[in-house]
Structure 1
Amino acid sequence: MRLRNKPWAKDKIEQHPQYIVANPEMYKGKWHEVFGNKQPLHIEVGTGKGQFVTEMARANPGINYMGIELYDSVIVAALDRLIEADLPNLRLLNVNAADLEKYFAKNDVDRVYLNFSDPWPKIRHEKRRLTYKDFLKLYEDILVDQGEIHFKTDNQGLFEYSLMSFSDYGLLLKYVSLDFHKSDYQGNIMTEYEEKFSEKGNRIYRCEVKYQN
């Protein structure tokens, strides 16, 4: 996906520190100070334009949510959603997912969402996949014991790879659907990509996995 450059994006981000947390490393181990409570914290890695995480926060006021997105030109769309929704249990981080340990301590996070991540199909790019073993270790280091990853994609190859990666790492497969939109799952909240792909008739794959530490 080619991103359209938005030279004004960084200025807009800096103008809204109440929504996109500035200096997030300051809150490692104490994110309750940002939210003003000790509710569970769920993060979406690669939040894109923010539809999923915003609607999750709206539907679940007893859970705190964090949308994490690297690209300035993308996260400003999520920022617009949050400004309009003004949800007290949602914040955004404009950081690289590879650096999560800089911002979160062990037990800071209760659940990780990975939605329609870049499949990086070439073998030489395997380490960039968000379900690669190094990322699984990264999530383990910030999650509570027996924390969970919830994963959705329309890419069959990435899904098959991820199931193997989860299994090889020793995670427990709690839920697997090879055609999620035809399942009896209740309460699904779709991402922008999910809406787009499902309208085209693409199959959606989903799983929930749990660390066994």
Structure 2
Amino acid sequence: MLKQALKENGLVAILRGLRPDEAPAIGDELYQAGFRVIEVPLNSPQPFDSIGLLRQRLPADCLIGAGTVLTPEQVTQVKDAGGQVIVMPHSDPKVLRAAKAANMFLSPGVATPTEAFAALSEGADVLKLFPAEQMSPAVVKAWLAVLPAGTVLLPVGGITPDNMKVFLDAGVKGFGLGSGLFKPGMSAADVAERAKAYVAAWKEHTSSL
């Protein structure tokens, strides 16, 4: 279901710093703009409350997940809160195995082909290419030439509506969007404006792919 959600719209909203009282309104705006995967990093205020509120609020075709998941215990907490996706900055096998055992979708962070192959062998659904700022589209294309067919790479870090095309041309299938989409304290209206700009760029650049 994660790959299917990303096929419809390959943009993942990363809401680092989101507060629970902001979650429903911002979730509504993101869903209306076309986002179908929303991530609340665990270093946000009361992240499990926000995850629960988003899961209650949004339709079933929108996956809710947690980012910056570092331990197997946090995997359990995310699932108990209603989260369905585990996103990690690294690829710790203990966390990967806990997420798979809990039947959750899994997106570990990788920065080398060795890490990518290891994460896939542990059952990763998609790979978070992090930090994307240090990866050129040429590097991404080279990775995809050797990784198993169908591997989904999601660059995270420094992605803007203007630089999406060069990564898409290299073969990526989506992006994780952080501070370019949401920063703590932003209004739902501001997030909506940025979300629409990203979705418009996504549609423009993927219509011919």
| TM-score, length basis structure 2 | 0.36
**Which has the greater radius of gyration?**
1
Higher strand share: 1
Higher helix share: 2
| TM-score, length basis structure 1 | 0.35
